[in-house]
Structure 1
Amino acid sequence: MSDALRDRIRAGETVIGTFIKTPAVQLVEILGRAGLDFAVADQEHAPIGISDMDLLSLAARATGLPLLSRRWGASTDWIAPLLDLGLTGVMVPHVADRARTDAVCAAVKFAHGARGISSSPRAGNYGGMGLTEYRDHSDRTSVTMVQIEDASALDQLDQIAAHPDVDVLFIGPADLSQSLGVGFPSAELDAAIQRVIDAGSKAGVAVGLFVGDETQGHLDFSLNSSERTRSAA
């Protein structure tokens, strides 16, 4: 079930998901029925709006599929409305330093005191949960994936990974290669990816990587199986 994703990640399980590029509820239903571990609605690179997310969330919850959203923007204002709809969590692009990490986590977790709270949306069972129950449940189960895809982030990895609310350092290899000015693929990109893996291993934080096929899983994830969280497109 969707509530278990964060527990599974933090327990060291390998979880495999995919990106959704089309706002079709049937796709979400199929992915849920197929037993996929999670899916990410790609609001960054696909025409998926808030009304679409309402229906995609409904389909995901009906099949027990943990659904996250990825959406670009300097602000974090988009995060709370999506979690209110019942999403399991968010994947935030271009998190390159601790200040951005703090802002993202404050937008996800009620405990930081910045996220507005109401149990009236779907995530609070339309008022069926009391505020305390809803707050505690949301903070316990919401998943925070921060994307590492900037050259400047590589020197900030320890600080980013040290935030207790970060569940996954998710590598964006295409943007990372562009930021580094290297080929995709290339030995230089592999070395940068390995730096993220090593930082995750050191901090005990899972690392995720976009892979186009299984042959791209050649980097050293063997340091600790608990550091593996993969997403296949």
Structure 2
Amino acid sequence: MTTSRGGDGQSSVEVGTFIKTPSAHIVEILAVAGLDFAVLDAEHAPFDFGTLDAMLIAGKAAGLPLFVRVPDFQPSTLLRSLDLGAAGVLVPHVDTPEDARNVVARCRYKAGVRGYSGGSRSSGYGEKGMLAAVADAESVQIMCQIESIEAVDNTRAIAATQGVDGIFVGRADLALSMGLADSQHPDVLKATERAIAAGVSQGKRIGVVASSLEERKRYSDLGATWFLHGSDQSLLKQAARALVRA
């Protein structure tokens, strides 16, 4: 999946949400709603690889690009997520350029260490052939999460790492790394803006969580184009509360 360009040459906004409920029906419903992408949250939600498999089948059938937010960036975790056919990975706690280089190497065959299987979904169950499958792996999207002060300080170098497609600022953990329990604290917002500017300077995709349309506009003006609005859980809760209030 690549970010499209508008007529003014600027990157167009892509809108998605986290999926935390292990049900393929959720994928189908969100695809019908017209989202650009969604992220299966295997870091904080109860997804095993069997469930991810079913969810990614649903995404492929429904035409909804699905990323996997992996719980770690161990080689086996990245390998299995990508072999199942994820459009990309959202990788937490990438704090240094070395972390970023390791992530890229574990996601790529060329100049990397990803193990190859011709029998996986990503390789078309053997129909693509090795040459085509290896080439296709170069288009897998790698988004590195910036969620510590160390990562903010290293954002420019992380974003500049060859093979990294973008950075995603995780403000909750960033706040905790600063000794705060408020992702909207002015110091957290300043650090977020600093990370965004560093990513923009390298021409990479910039992602953030947007809690409102106003917040999305604010970060879009700073150069962010990849927005996650809550999750399937929060969207359901908001709709239910609206009914109760009505």
TM-score, normalized by length of structure 2?
Answer: 0.86
User: Residue 41 of structure 1 corresponds to which residue in structure 2?
Assistant: 40
User: Residue 226 of structure 2 corresponds to which residue in structure 1?
Assistant: 229
Counterpart AA for 2:128: M
Q: For residues 19-76 of structure 1, give each alpha carbon's deviation from its aligned partner in whole angstroms, at most 9, with x where no partner exists.
A: 0011100000111222211111111111111000110010000011111111222523
Secondary structure of the corresponding residue to residue 221 of structure 1: helix
Counterpart AA for 1:93: P
Instruction: Tell me whether 1:22 sits opposite 2:18 in the alignment.
Output: no
Secondary structure of the corresponding residue to residue 103 of structure 2: helix
Secondary structure of the corresponding residue to residue 226 of structure 2: strand
Give unpaired runs (5+ residues) of structure 1: none
In the aligned structure 2, how far is the partner of 1:212 from the partner of 1:12?
21
Counterpart AA for 1:178: L
Instruction: Check whether the contact 2:91–2:143 (CA below 8 A) recurs between aligned residues.
Output: yes
Give unpaired runs (5+ residues) of structure 2: 231-246
CA radius of gyration, larger in: 2
User: Residue 158 of structure 2 corresponds to which residue in structure 1?
Assistant: 160
User: Residue 75 of structure 1 corresponds to which residue in structure 2?
Assistant: 74
User: Residue 244 of structure 2 corresponds to which residue in structure 1?
Assistant: none
User: Residue 150 of structure 1 corresponds to which residue in structure 2?
Assistant: 148
- Shift in CA distance, 196/67, structure 1 to aligned 2, threshold 3 Å: same
User: Residue 6 of structure 1 corresponds to which residue in structure 2?
Assistant: 2
Instruction: Check whether the contact 2:78–2:106 (CA below 8 A) recurs between aligned residues.
Output: yes
User: Residue 233 of structure 2 corresponds to which residue in structure 1?
Assistant: none
Instruction: Give how far 1:115 is off.
Output: 0.4
Instruction: Give how far 1:15 is off.
Output: 0.7
In the aligned structure 2, how far is the partner of 1:184 from the partner of 1:19?
18
Secondary structure of the corresponding residue to residue 72 of structure 1: coil
In the aligned structure 2, how far is the partner of 1:62 from the partner of 1:74?
27
Instruction: Check whether the contact 1:17–1:230 (CA below 8 A) recurs between aligned residues.
Output: yes
Instruction: Check whether the contact 1:71–1:91 (CA below 8 A) recurs between aligned residues.
Output: yes
Instruction: Give how far 1:78 is off.
Output: 0.3
TM-score, normalized by length of structure 1?
Answer: 0.91
What are the equivalent positions in structure 2 for 1:83-102 lying under 5 Å apart? 83-102=82-101
Instruction: Check whether the contact 2:66–2:87 (CA below 8 A) recurs between aligned residues.
Output: yes
User: Residue 241 of structure 2 corresponds to which residue in structure 1?
Assistant: none
Instruction: Check whether the contact 1:29–1:59 (CA below 8 A) recurs between aligned residues.
Output: yes
In the aligned structure 2, how far is the partner of 1:8 from the partner of 1:163?
22
In the aligned structure 1, how far is the partner of 2:74 from the partner of 2:134?
22
- Shift in CA distance, 41/223, structure 1 to aligned 2, threshold 3 Å: closer
Q: For residues 72-113 of structure 1, give each alpha carbon's deviation from its aligned partner in whole angstroms, at most 9, with x where no partner exists.
A: 225232011111111111000010100100011111121123
Q: For residues 190-222 of structure 1, give each alpha carbon's deviation from its aligned partner in whole angstroms, at most 9, with x where no partner exists.
A: 100100111011111111001222233364532
In the aligned structure 2, how far is the partner of 1:73 from the partner of 1:105?
13
Instruction: Check whether the contact 1:168–1:229 (CA below 8 A) recurs between aligned residues.
Output: no
Identity across the alignment (%):
34
In the aligned structure 2, how far is the partner of 1:54 from the partner of 1:74?
18
Instruction: Check whether the contact 2:142–2:163 (CA below 8 A) recurs between aligned residues.
Output: yes
After the TM superposition, list the runs of 4 or more consecutive aligned residues in structure 1 that deviate by more than 6 angstroms. Answer: none
Instruction: Check whether the contact 1:16–1:37 (CA below 8 A) recurs between aligned residues.
Output: yes
Instruction: Check whether the contact 1:83–1:123 (CA below 8 A) recurs between aligned residues.
Output: yes
In the aligned structure 2, how far is the partner of 1:18 from the partner of 1:158?
26
